[in-house]
Amino acid sequence: MQIRDRALGALTGLALGDALGMPTQSMSREAIRRHYGPVRSLVDAVSAQPISPGLPAGTVTDDTEQALLVAELLIDGGGRIDPKAFARALLDWEADMIRRELADLLGPSTKRALELLESGVDPEEAGRTGTTNGAAMRITPVAIATPPDLDGLLDAVVDASKLTHNTSLGIAAAAAVAAAVSAGLEGADASTALDHAEDAAAAGARRGHWSAGGDIAARIRWARRWVRGMDPDTLADAVCDVIGTSVASQESVVAAFALAEALGDRPVQALTLAAELGGDTDTVAAICGAVLGAQHGLSGLPVDLTTTVREVNGLDLDPVADGLLQLRSTRPGTFQWRRRP
């Protein structure tokens, strides 16, 4: 499989997961069952949807839109993201959401960081309280643009995350996602890519300001071992009731990796199950979709679903993937996989 197919798979998988989770985001598991029943495909959002009422099936949310914003800034900046340009772009994005009368606005960590930046706080300090999943949900373009060599990848993750999530939890979560996606692009098998995510999370936790909370690497490692061999119903209970699906990085990001571990060979089932769990369903599914998309490639995702998502949102991901891969080609890596027993 060509690296371009994997890059397109990561971006498309992110968008597909996001769109599958759009109708159920911020709803309880019980409310999802009542309004939708089992989620098996892309569906319209019901009027009771608290964030995106009435949006048509296949519509993406902030996860995809902010990831593409990061991609544009990376490509225009030659691989670097200017903090002030990033802040302006995020504020402009939120203003557009308000004009569209949507409630899918900036998350709590990002909002707080931009308020601090506007008040004169240094960009290095603005994100010192950001522990939620915002950096992780939009990190996939960084992963595509950067080889999996750990030091270089972590530098790129920190550079893209520190404005809003300059904490041990925020960076560890984003690093885990970036490592899994970047390793997948290089052809690492699923187990090796997820092992690399654990290593990146452990190293990422040493970057940024320390923040209290369950260690991301330790929780991913525990969750992967725990969910292996679970049937889908047991898996859903485990992720929803024990791991958690809130915006906290140590819940939703770990949930995405648990689904990728248990259902890695069945990407659509992993993403539809994510959409049924309640909580931050769009982000859990988007992260899981990016990781599995890098594994399976665009050619391994269902054409009917990806075509709908592309057409509903007017997405043209080919030039995005090409621009990010061009950046990747200028950053040669010498990484050797550390295979675990």
Residue list for the binding site for Mg(2+): 61-63, 280, 282-283
Q: Is 306 exposed, middle or buried (0-12, 13-18, 19+ CB in 10 A)?
A: buried
Residue 277 φ/ψ, nearest 5 degrees:
-80, -20
Consecutive H or E run containing 115? helix 108-118
- Annotation: binding site: 61-63, 280, 282-283
Secondary structure (3-state) at 279: strand
**Phi, psi (degrees; rounded to nearest 5) at 27:** -110, 155
Q: Is 93 helix (H, G, I), strand (E, B) or coil?
A: helix
Residue 290, both tokens: 């990016």
Q: What is the largest CA-CA distance in the chain?
A: 53
Q: Residue 68: enclosing H or E segment and its boundaries? A: helix 62-76
Q: What is the DSSP string of 70-123?
A: HHHHHHHTTT---HHHHHHHHHHHHHHHHHTT------HHHHHHHHHHHTT--H
Helix axes 303-313, 3-21, angle to 10 degrees: 70
Residue ranges of the alpha helices (H) in 248-335? 249-262, 267-276, 281-296, 303-313, 318-329
Residues 144-182 as b/e (b if ≥16 CB within 10 A, e otherwise) read bbbbbbbebbbebbbbbbbbbbbbbbbbbbbbbbbbbbb
Pairwise CA distance, residues 74 & 164, whole Å: 16
Strand-pairing partners, residue 27, are: 279
What lies within 8 Å, CB to CB, of 34 at 6+ separation is none
Dihedral over Cα of 271, 275, 280, 283: its sign: positive
Q: Check if the beta carbon of residue 148 is closer than 8 Å to that of residue 335.
A: yes
